[in-house]
């Protein structure tokens, strides 16, 4: 009768504490202090014999041959060595004894080894030496794996030995195999991660070797069930006799194997793969051969680790050259974004990408094959929302971001580094989709869905099952990810350095501006009196000397006009410097009232002119009333001045209240200007028209811009030659 099996429960099974052992051996749990028996497997009498007159084993010495074993065991416990391995005569029966320790006691396992001529070190050493000679010249991991598979099968006598490698998703692929033809070949087949759940993988990492001599065994329970030391089930993580999950046993039978042995391959402490041995019939492997196989696993682990580290180092050096070359170019560029764009080959080559983008400071720049700009903005927002603040790498973007599916032709895989912890700023590399066919050892989906009449069981089919893989790029190698991480740190340092330089420059400019303002204020203030004296004495001279001829009077008037013009220029310079020194007095400003007052003050300039005013109702502003009055005065004065030849002149003043700011606009139908020179309008002493045609000092618009800048607003101009001009300024709300 089949026992119902729950596949999902397999991943949560208490595989470390199964409560029983496999029947080909006997297990004792002893107290380290006096070697008293704490727990024993129920089959203890099958291998161990009590001394005459002893009814129940209280201590290890109560068993025949236990005295000698106890002495060795005490020495081992005193030296605190890792593992215990002895061959002992236990009452005329030669047994192999394995021992290890945990917090619940000293765990001893007794096995009656099968007879073999290859139990001696002298017989096994030449095989290991030949293996080392075979793999010494090669850096090819697959060749090393093939040699290991041949040696493992020769040592153990299994029908098939596979070298099984895990991918980043914990699916396994058979990279090497050696067999005698009794069992089918699984070479190059993949097996899903669900075949070996996470907790089983962790146990493989901790306990490097596991043997199941007969998949049809009946577990032997421990007596008592709970450990007397802590009242919990005995932890058998490191026990060779540990009973395994019934689901795994069913899996073996479905595969057509009745015996198996697994040897872990660990690279830098991580489970890299397994040496997986299978037999069509029950098969026992003695402890000495298992110890040699464990040693073989460690040799392979070291060899593979060394070669992978060497390959990683070589790739890192090559990528580092590219990174260093690119960073040197960035240091010479005006900013890192332009530096990346100007050197696309190194930018792409640093990660082996087909496209790349930098998304920062409100702009996106790309090279190579990339998704459309609008998708890049959304990708950056997604990365930012998912707290990607260092490095993100995936060869299947669609698995993480649903919108990634539509970008597979250019961005099936991405490698992204964050260059800001505040903003959604990233440098991203892209790889396109690579369609490929993967052959699985059976359907990778889980077993059949159970019913009351048909219980759940592991998948029964291991026939080749092909799947076309979509939405995946070539995977990002660890060296590429580490190079991207280093590059991120370098770019951030570069940005911070430039920010510090900019801050120092800003501070220096601020000091210089203050000095210039102080200088211009002092000079302007001191020049006012001399120019007034020139004007005054010119007028007095003209009144006193009645006999001057017409030409002399023209010279005198020219002197007075020049002095008046210079005086106005000095006054404007004084106002300009004053605007930078005066603190803002921010309040609610009635702009309708302000326009009326400014227009009234300018009436003398508009006297006798045909001017059509169109002044709409203006929303209130938040600012310094006196300074904003100066802005309106400059803009309206210009409008009146530059519409002198228009018949009639038209001046329009409008306003618009928006969500975060308020906009004001002064437009006219005057002479206008060429937009090619718009950047000059707001500079000091910058004029687009001759002073002979239109009087002025060239400071008014610069003064207006300074006021708006101090309000954290913006001012800009639009115009066409002969088509009028419009000046717009925007003030933020309170």
The per-residue DSSP string of 558-599 comes to: HHHHHHHHHHHHHHHHHHHHHHHHSPP-EEEE-HHHHHHHHH
Q: What is the dihedral of CA 393, 398, 403, 405, to 10 degrees?
A: 120
- Residue 417 and residue 400: Cα distance in Å, rounded? 16
Whole-Å CA distances, 662 to 620, 729, 731: 8, 9, 5
Sheet of strand 714-719, all strands in order from the earlier edge strand to the far edge: 611-615, 649-657, 661-668, 725-732, 714-719
Whether 54 and 62 have beta carbons less than 8 Å apart is answered as: yes
Say if residues 610 and 648 touch (Cβ distance below 8 Å): yes
Task: Look up the CATH architecture of domain 1-15+116-233+241-332.
Answer: 2-Layer Sandwich (3.30)
Residue 386 has pLDDT above 60, yes or no: yes
Per DSSP, the residues of 354-412 read SEEEEEETTEEEEEES---HHHHHHHHHHHHHTT--SEEEES-HHHH-GGGGGGHHHHS
Mean pLDDT of all residues in 690-717: 74
Task: Give the residue, 442 or 574, on which the prediction is more confident.
Answer: 442
Beta-sheet strands, E only, within 611-681: 611-615, 621-624, 649-657, 661-668
What is the predicted pLDDT for the residue at 479?
94
* Cα distance between residue 212 and residue 245, in whole Å: 11
pLDDT digits (tens, 9 = 90+) for 521-535: 565 556 666 767 677
Question: Is pLDDT above 50 for 614?
Answer: yes
Q: Give residue 8's pLDDT.
A: 47
Residue 581: per-residue pLDDT: 56
Per-residue pLDDT, averaged over 270-292, amounts to 92
Task: Find the range with the poorest average confidence among 164-168, 214-218, 494-498.
Answer: 494-498
Binning pLDDT at 50, 70 and 90, where does residue 579 land?
A: low
Q: Which two tokens stand for residue 615?
A: 């002044």
Long-range contact pairs involving 58-67 (C-beta distance under 8 Å, separation at least 24): 59/34, 59/35, 60/28, 60/30, 60/35, 60/108, 61/35, 62/37, 63/90, 63/91, 64/90, 64/91, 65/89, 65/90, 65/91, 66/90
Domain 583-732 architecture: 2-Layer Sandwich (3.30)
> Is residue 421 very low, low, confident or very high in pLDDT (cuts 50, 70, 90)?
confident
According to DSSP, residue 515 is labeled: H
Q: Look at residue 43 and tell me whether its pLDDT is greater than 70.
A: yes
Q: Averaged over 371-395, what is the pLDDT? A: 91
Which residues fall within 8 angstroms of residue 93, CB to CB, at 6 or more apart? 47, 49, 112
Q: Taking a C-beta distance cutoff of 8 angstroms, is the pair 421, 343 a contact?
A: no
Mean pLDDT of 48-62: 92
The predicted structure's pLDDT at residue 213: 95
The percentage of residues in the chain with a pLDDT greater than 90, rounded to a whole number, is: 49
The predicted pLDDT at position 491 comes to 87
Res 12 pLDDT > 50: yes
pLDDT at 198 over 70: yes
In angstroms, the CA 164 to CA 173 distance is 6
Where is average pLDDT lowest: 96-100, 132-136, 376-380, 535-539?
535-539
pLDDT at 416: 95
CA-CA-CA-CA torsion for 527, 530, 536, 538, nearest 10 degrees? -110
Residue 414 pLDDT class (50, 70, 90 cuts):
very high
Q: Which of 112-116, 245-249, 472-476, 632-636 has the lowest mean pLDDT?
A: 112-116
Q: What is the pLDDT of residue 117?
A: 45
Rounded CA-CA distance 627/621 in Å is 12
Is residue 697 pLDDT above 70, yes or no?
no
Q: What share of the chain is helix, strand, coil (3-state, %, to 5)?
A: 45, 25, 35
Q: Is the pLDDT of residue 148 over 80?
A: yes
Distance of alpha carbon 121 from alpha carbon 125, whole angstroms: 6
Please tell me the distance from the alpha carbon of residue 195 to that of residue 138, in angstroms, as a whole number.
32
Average pLDDT estimate for 90-96: 87
pLDDT at res. 131: 85
pLDDT band at 116 (very low <50, low <70, confident <90, very high): low
Q: What is the mean pLDDT of residues 572-595?
A: 75
Angle made by CA atoms 406, 409, 410, in degrees to the nearest 5? 100
Beta pairing partners, 465: 440
Identify the pLDDT of residue 449.
38
Cα–Cα–Cα angle for 354, 358, 363, rounded to 5 degrees:
135
Chain-centre distance for alpha carbon 98: 47
pLDDT above 60: residue 404:
yes
Which of 217-221, 322-326, 401-405, 467-471 reaches the highest mean pLDDT?
Answer: 217-221
Mean pLDDT of 269-290: 92
Separation of alpha carbons 308 and 288, rounded Å: 30
Mean pLDDT of all residues in 25-43: 96
Q: What b/e sequence results for 61-92 when a residue is b if at least 16 CB atoms lie within 10 Å of its CB, and e otherwise?
A: bbbbbbeebbeebeebbeeeeeebebebebee
Segment 613-638 shows an average pLDDT of 90
Percent of the chain with pLDDT over 70: 84
Out of 106-110, 437-441, 576-580, 710-714, pick the least confident. Answer: 576-580
Mean pLDDT of 132-159: 90
| pLDDT for res 413 | 95
pLDDT in tens, 654-686: 999 998 999 999 999 988 888 887 777 776 545
Q: Do 279 and 159 touch, CB atoms closer than 8 A? A: yes
**Which residue has 């007028």 as its token pair?**
539
pLDDT surpasses 50 at 321: yes
Q: How far is CA 329 from CA 119, 283, 332, 494, 561, in A?
A: 65, 65, 5, 12, 58
Homologous superfamily in CATH for domain 25-111: PAS domain (3.30.450.20)
pLDDT in tens, 428-468: 999 999 987 777 777 766 544 333 333 335 666 676 777 77
Beta-ladder partners of 36 = 59
- Please give the CATH number for the structural domain made up of 333-433: 3.30.450.270
Judge whether residue 623 has pLDDT over 70: yes
Give the model's confidence band at 7: pLDDT under 50 very low, under 70 low, under 90 confident, else very high.
very low
């Amino acid at each position: 009768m089949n026992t119902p099996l729950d596949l999902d429960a397999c991943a949560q099974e208490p595989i470390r504490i199964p409560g029983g052992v496999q029947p080909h051996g006997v297990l004792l749990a002893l107290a380290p202090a006096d070697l008293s028996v704490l727990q024993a497997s129920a089959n203890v009498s099958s291998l161990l014999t009590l001394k005459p007159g002893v009814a129940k084993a209280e201590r290890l010495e109560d068993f025949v041959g236990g005295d000698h074993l106890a002495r060795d065991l005490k020495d081992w416990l005193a030296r605190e060595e890792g593992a215990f391995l002895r061959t002992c005569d236990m009452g005329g029966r030669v047994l192999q004894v394995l021992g290890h320790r945990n917090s619940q006691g000293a765990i001893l396992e007794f096995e009656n080894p099968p007879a073999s001529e290859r139990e001696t070190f002298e017989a096994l050493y030449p095989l290991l030496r030949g293996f080392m000679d075979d793999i010494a010249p090669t850096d090819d991991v697959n060749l090393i794996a093939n040699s290991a598979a041949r040696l493992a099968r020769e040592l153990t006598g299994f029908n098939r030995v596979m070298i099984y490698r895990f991918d980043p998703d914990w699916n396994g692929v058979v990279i090497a195999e050696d067999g005698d033809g009794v069992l089918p070949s699984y070479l190059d087949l993949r097996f899903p991660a669900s075949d070996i759940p996470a907790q089983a993988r962790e146990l493989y990492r901790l306990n490097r070797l596991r043997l199941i001599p007969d998949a049809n065994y009946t577990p032997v329970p421990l007596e008592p069930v709970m450990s007397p030391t802590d009242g919990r089930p005995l932890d058998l993580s490191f026990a060779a006799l540990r009973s395994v999950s019934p689901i795994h046993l069913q899996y073996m039978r479905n595969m057509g194997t009745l015996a198996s042995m697994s040897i872990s391959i660990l690279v830098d402490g991580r489970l890299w793969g397994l040496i997986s041995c299978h037999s069509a019939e029950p098969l026992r492997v003695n402890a000495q051969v298992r110890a040699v196989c464990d040693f073989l696993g460690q040799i392979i682990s070291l060899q593979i680790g060394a070669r992978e580290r060497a390959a990683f180092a070589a790739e890192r050096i090559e990528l580092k050259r590219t990174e260093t070359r690119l960073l040197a170019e960035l240091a010479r560029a005006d900013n890192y974004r332009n530096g990346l764009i100007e050197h696309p080959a190194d930018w792409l080559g640093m990660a082996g990408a087909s496209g790349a983008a930098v998304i920062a400071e409100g702009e996106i720049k790309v090279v190579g094959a990339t998704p459309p700009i609008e998708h890049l903005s959304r990708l950056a927002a997604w990365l930012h929302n998912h707290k990607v603040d260092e490095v993100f790498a995936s060869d299947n973007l669609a698995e993480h971001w649903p919108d990634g599916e539509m970008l597979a032709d250019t961005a099936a895989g991405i490698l992204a580094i964050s260059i800001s912890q505040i903003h959604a700023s990233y440098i991203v590399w892209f790889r396109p989709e690579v369609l490929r066919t993967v052959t699985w050892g059976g359907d990778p989906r889980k077993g059949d869905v159970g019913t009351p009449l048909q219980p759940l069981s592991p998948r029964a089919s291991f026939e080749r099952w092909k799947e076309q893989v979509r939405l995946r790029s070539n995977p990002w190698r660890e060296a590429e990810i580490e190079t991207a991480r280093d590059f991120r740190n370098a770019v951030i340092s570069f940005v911070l350095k430039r920010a510090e330089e900019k801050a120092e420059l800003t501070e220096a400019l601020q000091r210089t501006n203050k000095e210039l303002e102080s200088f211009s204020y002092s000079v302007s203030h001191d020049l006012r009196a001399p120019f007034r004296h020139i004007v005054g004495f010119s007028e007095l001279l003209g009144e006193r000397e009645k006999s001057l001829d017409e030409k002399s009077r023209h010279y005198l008037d020219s002197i007075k006009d020049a002095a008046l013009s210079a005086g106005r220029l000095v006054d404007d310079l004084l106002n300009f410097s004053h605007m930078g020194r005066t603190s803002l007095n921010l309040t609610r400003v009635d702009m309708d009232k302000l326009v009326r007052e400014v227009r009234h003050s300018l009436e003398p300039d508009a006297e006798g002119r045909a001017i059509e005013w169109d002044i709409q109702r203006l929303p209130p502003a938040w600012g310094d009333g006196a300074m904003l009055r100066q802005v309106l005065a400059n803009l309206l004065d210009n409008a009146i001045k530059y519409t002198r030849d228009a018949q009639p002149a038209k001046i329009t003043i409008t306003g618009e209240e928006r969500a975060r700011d308020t906009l004001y606009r002064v437009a006219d139908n005057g002479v206008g200007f060429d937009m090619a020179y718009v950047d000059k309008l707001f500079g000091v002493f910058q004029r687009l028209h001759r002073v002979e045609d239109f009087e002025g000092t060239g400071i008014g618009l610069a003064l207006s811009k300074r006021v708006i800048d101090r309000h954290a607003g913006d001012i800009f101009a639009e115009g066409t030659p002969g088509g009028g001009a419009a000046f717009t300024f925007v003030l933020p709300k309170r």
